[in-house]
Amino acid sequence: MGGRSTVLSMILVFMMLEMLKAPVVRSEDITLGRTAGRTAGETAGETAGRTAGETAGGTAGGTAGGTAGGTAGGTAGGTAGGTAGGTAGGTAGGTAGGTAGGTAGGTAGLPRFVGELKNITVPLGRDTLLPCTVENLQGFKVAWVQVDTQTVLTIHDHVITRNPRISLLHSDARTWHLYLTNVREKDRGWYMCQLNTDPMLYHQGYLDVVVPPDIIDLESSGDLTVREGEDVTLICRARGHPTPHVVWRREDAQDIILDEGNSVKEMAGETLVLHTVSRLQMGSYLCLAHNGVPPSVSKRTHLTVQFPPMVWVPQQLEGAHLGHQLDIECHAEAYPRGINYWTSPAGDMIVSGQRIETTVRSEGSYKVKMTLRIKEVTFQDLGTFLCVAKNSLGETDGSVRIYGLGDYDNTTRPDNTYKSPEDGNDRGEIGLDQGAGEDSLTSSVVQFGTATRDSGTLMVRSSSTMVMMVLMVPGMTRLL
C-alpha cells in the first residue's frame, strides 16, 4: 500500500481519536519518566548506600539503596532507574532496582496483534467476517479502515460508517472483528485494522467478492435468419468475477461447421464466425459461460438459413401394370417452407381422393418427402407426373415417367412418336408409327444420333405391344 494512503489513514484515525478524547501515551512522557527514574535512582541509591554503609555496614546500605532505587525506578517506568540505583548503591541496590524497573517496563510495553488478517474470498450476497485480535491493548484504540476508498469504518467500539451492512463484533478487550452482511462487489478491496500507537501498528487483508457468470442479453446475438451463402457472426457477452470462460456448441451435439471442410466440436470465445453458410449449418447454437463460481449459464441462439426449393427424385422412370397399385415419391428441400403438390400427365394439380392419395411428410426443419399412390393404374395414368415445390424464394419440380407393363390396347394414346434426348426426353423413350409391325421391330436398328449416356432404357410402343430394350453402346443398339 502506498505511503500517501497510509498517512491519510493515520490522520483520519488520529483526528477521530481526538474528537473522542481518547488518552494517548506520548513518547516525551516516557522519556521524562526514564530520566527522572535514573536521576532519582542514582541520587537516592548513592546517598542511602553511603550512609548505611558507614553506619550499619554494607548490608544495611545495600538494602536501603536497593529499596530506594527500585521504588524510584518502578515509579518512573524505566529499567535505567534500577540499573543506576544498583551501580550507585551497591550490589543489593542494583538487584532490587533492576527487578522492580523491569517489571514496570514490561507492563507498559506496546500491544500486539494475534494471528494474521488473511485474504478472504466470499461469493456475492453472502456474509463474511474480518478478524482482528489484539493483546495488551492498554489505553490504545483500535480502528478499521477500507483502504481503497480511504473510509474510516470503526474507531474503538464506535461504528463510524453509515453503511448498515457493517458492524463490529467486540466481546472483550481482545476482539475487534469487522462483520459484513450481504456482500456486494463494491466491498471488494483492502481492509486495515490499526492501532493509534507511535509508530502506528496495523495489519491488513484483501476481501475478494466473486460473482457467478451472467450473459448480457442486450450485447449478445438473438435468433438470426440469413440467406444461404452469407457470412454469419454470433456474439455472446458474459460478465462475472473472475472473468467467465465462454464456449460455443451445437444443441444437437453435431460438429460446428466453420466453413467448407473445417468443423469443430466446440469453439472458445465470445464470437463465433461461420463463413458462407449453408442449410447444413441451420440449427440451434449454445453459448456456455463459466468461471468456477456456480452456477454456469447458457444462452440459445437459433440460426435459420433461407434458400429456394430443391427437388430430388430417386426413381424417374416407373413401370406399372394396369389395374395394379403404384407408389411414386420425390424429396424436396426448401426454407422457408412453402407448398408441395403433384400434377398429373394432363398438367392438373392432383387432390388426394379415393383413387389417388398424396402425402407430404416432414423429415427435418427443411426436408419433406412427397408420396403419390395410385390404387389402380389406368391408361390416363401413363405419362409424366410432376412433384412441385414452391416458396417465397423460388419454384422447382421433379418428374416421374410412368409406362405400362404387359399387353394392353394403346390405340387411344396418341403420344407414340419418338423423342430424342435433345427434344427433352432424357429417359430414352422411343415410339414407332402405328403401322409398324413386330417383324420390322426385330430386324430394324434404332439410331440415337449423338447419345449422351453409356446405357439406358429404351421403350418402344406399338399399337398392341411394348418392347423394353437396354442401350449398352452410345450411338445405336439392336432391338432384341
262/335 same-domain check:
no
| Residue 23 to residues 5, 281, 362, 467, Cα–Cα distance (Å) | 25, 78, 89, 125
Task: Give residue 109's pLDDT.
Answer: 82
**Is residue 81 assigned to a domain?**
yes
Contact present, 342 and 370 (Cβ < 8 Å): yes
**Is residue 132 assigned to a domain?**
yes
Q: Using the 3D structure, point to which of 58, 73, 107 is the last residue of a domain.
A: 107
Q: What is the CATH number of the domain that holds 159?
A: 2.60.40.10
Task: Give residue 156's pLDDT.
Answer: 92
**Is residue 255 assigned to a domain?**
yes
Task: Give residue 455's pLDDT.
Answer: 35
Contact present, 130 and 177 (Cβ < 8 Å): yes
Nearest C-alpha neighbor of 101 from the set 60, 45, 52: 45
Task: Give residue 427's pLDDT.
Answer: 38
Contact present, 475 and 451 (Cβ < 8 Å): yes
Task: Give residue 262's pLDDT.
Answer: 95
Domain extent for 297:
217-305
For the entire predicted model, the pTM comes to 0.60
**Is residue 391 assigned to a domain?**
yes
Residue 480 grid coordinates: 432384341
Task: Give residue 422's pLDDT.
Answer: 40
93/67 same-domain check:
yes
223/290 same-domain check:
yes
Q: Using the 3D structure, point to which of 211, 239, 274 is the last residue of a domain.
A: 211
48/76 same-domain check:
yes
Task: Give residue 426's pLDDT.
Answer: 41
Contact present, 11 and 19 (Cβ < 8 Å): no
For helices 79-89 and 91-107, give the axis angle rounded to 10 degrees.
180
Q: Using the 3D structure, point to which of 83, 107, 131 is the last residue of a domain.
A: 107
pLDDT (tens, 9 = 90+) of the chain, 480 residues, equals 444 444 445 545 545 544 443 444 444 433 433 443 354 444 444 444 354 334 433 333 333 333 333 333 333 333 333 333 334 333 333 333 333 333 333 445 899 999 989 999 999 999 999 999 999 999 999 999 999 999 999 999 999 999 999 999 998 999 999 999 999 999 999 999 999 999 999 999 999 999 999 999 999 999 999 999 999 999 999 999 999 999 999 999 999 999 988 999 999 999 999 999 999 999 999 999 999 999 999 999 999 999 999 999 999 999 999 999 999 999 999 999 999 999 999 999 999 999 999 999 999 889 999 999 999 999 999 999 999 999 999 999 999 999 999 755 544 444 433 333 344 444 333 333 333 333 333 333 333 333 333 333 333 333 333 333 333 333 333 333
461/414 same-domain check:
yes
Number of domains making up the chain: 5
Task: Give residue 450's pLDDT.
Answer: 32
**Is residue 12 assigned to a domain?**
no
**Is residue 21 assigned to a domain?**
no
**Is residue 138 assigned to a domain?**
yes
